[in-house]
Amino acid sequence: MQQRAAEFFAGIGLMRKGLDNEGWTTVWANDLDEKKWEMYRANFNEGACEFVLEDVHKVEGKDIPDIELATASFPCNDLSLAGSRHGLAGTNSSAFWGFVEAIKGMGKRRPPLVLLENVAGFLTSNDGNDFRDALVALNDLGYAVDAFIIDAVRFVPQSRVRLFVVGSQAQPDRLRETSVKFLQSDVRPPALADFIFMNPEIGWSIRNLPPLPPSRMKLADIIEDVPLNSEVWWSQERCEYLLNQMSEKHRAEAERMMAGSKWTYGTVFRRVRNGRSMGELRTDGIAGCLRTPRGGSGRQILFCAGKGQYRVRLLTPKECARLMGANSYKINVPLNQALFGFGDAVCVPVIQWIARHYLNPALRELTDMPRPLPSKRKDVCYSKPLRRTKSQA
């Protein structure tokens, strides 16, 4: 059984990394960001797949090779609660429609499975209409849909809640006799179960999934041993400025850490509260969600304290890789470039879990269904990305 994947919005390749670990082979990838592609090619430079460096709206289905899975981690800017909330009509998140058109253009060669990933705010964007429109679009392409929510904290010490949608060429379920409590599970919290139950006209195919593993890792498990004389540590003046940005409650927590008999770790994000930049300290052993550093608040700060002392620095790229479950990822780019890459990526062990418990068994079941004959097109491999010219577009 072949398990070939096309990775839309490939970013730095962590979707591919998770799928590779569960037997998939990525034969085609697409992204628009040259800096992310620089990181991608440093880790997947074996020339085993075609990488198209292009706007997804210019991708044509006929140019996509035969695949069993298409993945799309499309931009979240317009869907996030922290973003513009312009939804699927927004400048960035409207890239979803480019993905839909590309899959539509594959005709009878459409893959049996598709996987979408985005922020949990996708569920409520425009009162749920954006999510509904996306699911109906997949229905129109011949896919019954399923949805679930996973927090990466079950696998790594990072709070990163993401909404996933699987579309499969399976027969839709009959949900009208299903109770909303039956739909609720470890991966389908009440808000999502309610949405499914209240939209029975959508072609659903709900799959039972096992419980998620319990959280085991803590922030201390991923901390890099950075020498004290390294320039990444902040100056005393800068450290004190951060302490003075904390509220009384957070400052007291920082001092409690300093008074401890051993070194402990917390993370800090800067947030604007009542017009003032504040440092908010988290000390539960879990990092906040990694973000792209478009502003000062996007950089996550490491606060180390104990034995009457404290030290402060930004999380390193290697620590960010570990927080995404990509421990062996090669990083040879500047700090900001790495932070952008990991901030937009998917968590590797989450994708592995989805592949193992959903995609692989679903594909085995679908292989028993009649499938269109594959095209005669041979998979082409390139050592550098394709950039279509105007004459080719």
**Gap between the Cα atoms of 76 and 94, Å rounded:** 10
Query: If you average pLDDT over residues 37-50, what whole number do you get?
Result: 84
For the chain, percent of residues with pLDDT exceeding 70: 85
User: Which residue reads 């700060």 in tokens?
Assistant: 301
Cβ atoms < 10 Å from Cβ of 256: 12
Q: What is the pLDDT, as a whole number, of residue 1? A: 84
Domain with CATH 3.40.50.150 in the chain: 4-216+345-366
Query: If you average pLDDT over residues 98-103, what whole number do you get?
Result: 95
The DSSP output letter for 379 is P
pLDDT at 375 over 50: no
Q: Are the C-beta atoms of residues 87 and 130 closer than 8 Å to each other?
A: yes
Q: What is the pLDDT, as a whole number, of residue 385? A: 45
pLDDT digits (tens, 9 = 90+) for 14-33: 999 999 999 999 999 999 99
Q: What is the pLDDT, as a whole number, of residue 391? A: 30
Higher model confidence: residue 298 or residue 98?
Answer: 98
**Gap between the Cα atoms of 60 and 95, Å rounded:** 14
Higher model confidence: residue 83 or residue 304?
Answer: 304
Q: Are the C-beta atoms of residues 348 and 323 closer than 8 Å to each other?
A: no
**Gap between the Cα atoms of 318 and 329, Å rounded:** 8
pLDDT band of 86, cuts 50, 70, 90: low
Mean residue pLDDT of the chain comes to 88
Q: In the CATH scheme, what is the homologous superfamily, with its name and number, of domain 4-216+345-366?
A: Vaccinia Virus protein VP39 (3.40.50.150)
pLDDT digits (tens, 9 = 90+) for 138-181: 999 999 999 999 999 999 999 999 999 999 999 998 765 566 66
Buried b (16+ CB within 10 A) or exposed e, 125-148: bbebebbbbbbebbbeeebbbbbb
The residues, any chain, with a CB within 8 Å of residue 114's CB and separated by 6 or more, are: 69, 70, 71, 72, 103, 138, 143, 165, 166, 167, 168
The DSSP output letter for 116 is E
Q: What is the pLDDT, as a whole number, of residue 389? A: 32
CA distances from 156 to 10, 118, 159, 267, 373 (A): 21, 18, 8, 15, 41
pLDDT digits (tens, 9 = 90+) for 266-312: 999 988 888 888 999 999 999 999 998 765 557 899 999 999 999 99
**Gap between the Cα atoms of 36 and 32, Å rounded:** 9
